A and B are shown apart, each in its own frame.
Chain A
């Protein structure tokens, strides 16, 4: 705070007893308000972009040879003949009910289209996140403990490669080695699968290719967070207590490194979702990635519009979860 030595550490109980649960709920309400505002802003932006883009959507759908009558009929059907504010109001109201309109090309409901592939993307993202954390955190801890020794240098090199390699390159290399030469995993990950084993085998390569990038980020941030914490006084206290090397590192030091790690995980979850686009294409796996590619190549503006909203929603939810996690990791975090 920087001003006044009297500024009380607000956490010291000043007789004004409010339970932590109470505080979390009020924090949650505030953050949900922010999230709603963010979504509203994105919806507005998306609405405007589609209206500003050159070209009449009716012409795109019907082709150059369409008669004025059919164009007018389509305008009416799409609601484009309404005043712009009415259109906007209708758009917001529909979005609120989960209806993102229909695809300009296929005419199918966008919400249904997205919901049919969303589980695949979420499944892939969560699996790669877990794998990335499970590999990255121990690797980062190991690198920090063996600072400037061979394991550290090797891990830093590996994570540098992971960071520099674009997701689709890693995916193609994995595909070549494990699916084409070794034939351990299927080339095409159609999703679904006949049973759980089959499903996991289909997911393995896409997950790995994303997890490697995630691991690279997490290793680096874990290493630097651990190096900072290992120099702190309470780690010396733990050693002076006679705590084992294991307890000192994993219980005392890692416990205090989790905040920066969580921040990075939250941030890169967004990147992971973005990277999954390319991975899904390389592995011919259903998911948002393939859907967005279709939308782009067919100039399906309404579908794109819907997908932008979905991506925003995911990023907002991830941020909210990250903020809430801080409080569980560090008792000093104040929900404000």
Chain B
């Protein structure tokens, strides 16, 4: 072991209560270098970071072994001295920028606190130091923003505040715990860029905790892969990506999207078309024409309607029988609203929707009942979308009973058969949701959706909350079930890797509008619209070797467009161009 390591951890063993969660972990980080700690939820990576900060839960968390910061042993340090280390010599950036800042204190106060504690500045000097840090992390108008509260900041801006707090006292180690997981890809790219640049300037060591191998390829010098509290693989980033030793590491690496940037942009100019042909070659199951969804905004003394948020603006597309259409875009692009509007969970302002050749009349109860039989939905959060007090068997049978499809013994038989289809033991039908893991719960939700023999399933970020390996399994399951039941999917996701694996066609959403639609290989491999290119280029690379190509990224911020429009606003007519067969690009100008 070299003496000059910024952090060296030796034989670290952590237990929470009676459970040992980390077993004999050893690693070290040199100044200015980044070690990526990779693993799925429950692998012990976040607990390790809390142990280094000595922030394990009181009275139940116990760490044994050795953690040395420079030459100082941290595990035996008295709490009073440990407080000087925290925020001063080791600082931390957390995953959730939305909840990691105190909502009732101004940004300035929170930044000032850490500087006051460790650099002992006061008054004008403190104020200057705060503004200086805000400029360093490139928060625009720091003099204005310093007086504002966290809820007026976007996720990316809040994470910049967290980075500013982390760097404010020139720490020798920064622990970044999934710092960009909650951010959109374009914001993630900007944030990672900023973090790398500031690290280059300050020479700080970084312990980067993540589950995303793309981010690892982007950021790390060394990689340590963890599983169930044990080291699985440890080596330089190049070594690990080029010759992964363990099959587990290999599966993590393979989960990254593979088409992005492989095919290159089409040089052939797209030819303008008069109108976007909606129905694709096959017999369309779902046709959406000119869908617009608006939410009124009230204001003024009497709460009159001031304008409307145009969440979805004149969107048209179709899904064929047995086909999967991916709807991708960043948060706030309106992709989830489209799914909700189809099944009447969001108010449709105008437009027509046809399911299986029949126009849906949202004012007619019979038409709605039919719609709900044909179209089912799977949500992101498998924890929240199951009733905690209802057995899973009953949850799956409920829709059949409500719609009078099957009752009694027949419903039970079908429920058991469905559980088997989604890979669960029918004997567990009388169990409650909390007895299942996240992946199993998503299987239950899929079984419940299939209970109605729907023709279309809307999957809204259905795999986004799952770990990489589980995510793969669920996608495989969805593909298998599609073949078996000939069901169509509307797959709404921000996760390009998942979209790439399951979708036949992809539509890209930007500020409520579809800007590009076409076959998967064309849209992801040969993107035509500038926004699609920017979105795809923001996706982390798949191998550290790709880092050298500096031209890969165009992190310029999008011109901010407000979705809030005055009442008399009419969207300008869209002009479309055809790039290749079935691949259409909206005119960007």
A252 close to B (CB within 8 Å): yes
CA distance A240 to B562 in the complex (A): 36
B104 engages A330 (CB within 8 Å)? yes
Cβ of A156 to closest chain B Cβ, rounded Å: 19
B104 engages A241 (CB within 8 Å)? no
A201 close to B (CB within 8 Å): no
CB-CB under 8 A from B165, the residues of chain A are 237, 241
CA distance A191 to B306 in the complex (A): 56
A237 engages B100 (CB within 8 Å)? yes
- Taking CB atoms and an 8 Å cut-off, the chain B residues in 359-417 that contact chain A are none
A227 close to B (CB within 8 Å): no
B536 close to A (CB within 8 Å): no
CB-CB under 8 A from A244, the residues of chain B are 83
CA distance A5 to B340 in the complex (A): 10
- Flag the segment in B7-15, B86-94, B196-204, B283-291 that touches A: B86-94
Report if A243-B55 is in contact (Cβ < 8 Å); known contacts: A6-B295, A6-B337, A233-B100. no
B299 engages A332 (CB within 8 Å)? no
Total interface residues on B, using CB and 8 Å? 54
A242 engages B118 (CB within 8 Å)? yes
Q: Mark B139-160, 1 if CB is under 8 A from A, else 0.
A: 0000000000101101000000
CA distance A265 to B131 in the complex (A): 39
A31 close to B (CB within 8 Å): no
Cβ of A142 to closest chain B Cβ, rounded Å: 15
Report if A240-B86 is in contact (Cβ < 8 Å); known contacts: A5-B332, A8-B309, A8-B563. yes
CA distance A251 to B100 in the complex (A): 15
Contact with B114, one of A3, A16, A233, A242 (Cβ below 8 angstroms): A242
B309 engages A7 (CB within 8 Å)? yes
B334 close to A (CB within 8 Å): yes
- Taking CB atoms and an 8 Å cut-off, the chain A residues in 244-287 that contact chain B are 244, 247, 251-252, 255-256
B512 close to A (CB within 8 Å): yes
Contact with A5, one of B84, B297, B331 (Cβ below 8 angstroms): B331
Cβ of B80 to closest chain A Cβ, rounded Å: 9
A26 close to B (CB within 8 Å): yes
A12 close to B (CB within 8 Å): yes
Report if A330-B113 is in contact (Cβ < 8 Å); known contacts: A8-B564, A236-B94, A240-B92. no
A232 close to B (CB within 8 Å): yes
Q: Mark A1-35, 1 if CB is under 8 A from B, else 0.
A: 00111111111111110000000001001000000
Contact with A11, one of B86, B104, B152 (Cβ below 8 angstroms): B152
B423 close to A (CB within 8 Å): no
CB-CB under 8 A from B105, the residues of chain A are 251-252, 255
Contact with A242, one of B88, B100, B301, B512 (Cβ below 8 angstroms): B88
CA distance A284 to B310 in the complex (A): 66
Cβ of A239 to closest chain B Cβ, rounded Å: 6
B77 close to A (CB within 8 Å): no
B86 engages A242 (CB within 8 Å)? yes
B83 engages A14 (CB within 8 Å)? no
A240 engages B345 (CB within 8 Å)? no
Report if A6-B563 is in contact (Cβ < 8 Å); known contacts: A240-B92, A242-B84. yes
Contact with A239, one of B86, B151, B152, B345 (Cβ below 8 angstroms): B86
B53 engages A234 (CB within 8 Å)? no
B113 engages A3 (CB within 8 Å)? no
CA distance A4 to B338 in the complex (A): 9
Residue in chain B with minimal CB distance to A331: B149
CB-CB under 8 A from B117, the residues of chain A are 241-243
A4 engages B311 (CB within 8 Å)? yes
CA distance A243 to B94 in the complex (A): 16
A329 close to B (CB within 8 Å): yes
CA distance A76 to B103 in the complex (A): 64
A236 engages B55 (CB within 8 Å)? yes
CB-CB under 8 A from A95, the residues of chain B are none
A240 engages B91 (CB within 8 Å)? yes
B85 close to A (CB within 8 Å): yes
CB-CB under 8 A from A9, the residues of chain B are 151-152
A238 close to B (CB within 8 Å): yes
Q: Mark B157-176, 1 if CB is under 8 A from A, else 0.
A: 00000100100000000000
A4 engages B293 (CB within 8 Å)? yes
Residue in chain A with minimal CB distance to B298: A336
A256 engages B152 (CB within 8 Å)? no
A234 engages B103 (CB within 8 Å)? yes
A3 engages B346 (CB within 8 Å)? yes
B103 engages A238 (CB within 8 Å)? no
CB-CB under 8 A from A3, the residues of chain B are 295, 337, 340, 345-347
B99 close to A (CB within 8 Å): yes
CA distance A240 to B117 in the complex (A): 12
Cβ of A222 to closest chain B Cβ, rounded Å: 16
B84 engages A237 (CB within 8 Å)? no
CB-CB under 8 A from A12, the residues of chain B are 152, 154
CA distance A16 to B564 in the complex (A): 11
Residue in chain A with minimal CB distance to B299: A16
B99 engages A242 (CB within 8 Å)? no
CA distance A13 to B145 in the complex (A): 12
A11 engages B151 (CB within 8 Å)? yes
CA distance A235 to B99 in the complex (A): 10
Residue in chain B with minimal CB distance to A329: B104
CA distance A236 to B162 in the complex (A): 13
B451 close to A (CB within 8 Å): no
B103 engages A330 (CB within 8 Å)? yes
B101 close to A (CB within 8 Å): yes
Report if A332-B55 is in contact (Cβ < 8 Å); known contacts: A4-B337, A233-B96, A241-B86. no
Report if A4-B104 is in contact (Cβ < 8 Å); known contacts: A13-B152, A242-B87. no
CA distance A239 to B85 in the complex (A): 11
Contact with A331, one of B91, B104, B310, B336 (Cβ below 8 angstroms): B104
CA distance A172 to B102 in the complex (A): 45
CB-CB under 8 A from A232, the residues of chain B are 99
Report if A233-B295 is in contact (Cβ < 8 Å); known contacts: A4-B340, A5-B332, A13-B152. no
B99 engages A233 (CB within 8 Å)? yes
Contact with A256, one of B84, B104, B310, B334 (Cβ below 8 angstroms): B104
Q: Mark A308-336, 1 if CB is under 8 A from B, else 0.
A: 00000000000000000000011110001
CA distance A14 to B84 in the complex (A): 41
A7 engages B87 (CB within 8 Å)? no
Q: Mark B109-122, 1 if CB is under 8 A from A, else 0.
A: 00001100110000
CB-CB under 8 A from B309, the residues of chain A are 4, 6-8
CB-CB under 8 A from B85, the residues of chain A are 242
Residue in chain B with minimal CB distance to A336: B303
Residue in chain A with minimal CB distance to B165: A241
Show 16 A/B contacts (Cβ-Cβ < 8 Å), sorted by A.
A4-B336, A6-B295, A6-B309, A8-B563, A14-B564, A232-B99, A234-B101, A236-B55, A237-B94, A239-B86, A240-B86, A241-B86, A241-B113, A242-B85, A243-B87, A255-B105
B residues touching A (Cβ–Cβ < 8 Å)? Answer: 53, 55, 83-88, 91-92, 94, 96, 99-105, 113-114, 117-118, 149, 151-152, 154, 162, 165, 293, 295, 297, 299, 301, 303, 306, 309-311, 331-337, 340, 345-347, 512, 562-564
Given A240-B87, A252-B105, 5 other A-B contacts at CB below 8 A?
A4-B336, A6-B563, A16-B306, A236-B55, A237-B102
**4 closest residue pairs by CB, A with B:** A242-B87, A241-B87, A6-B311, A242-B86
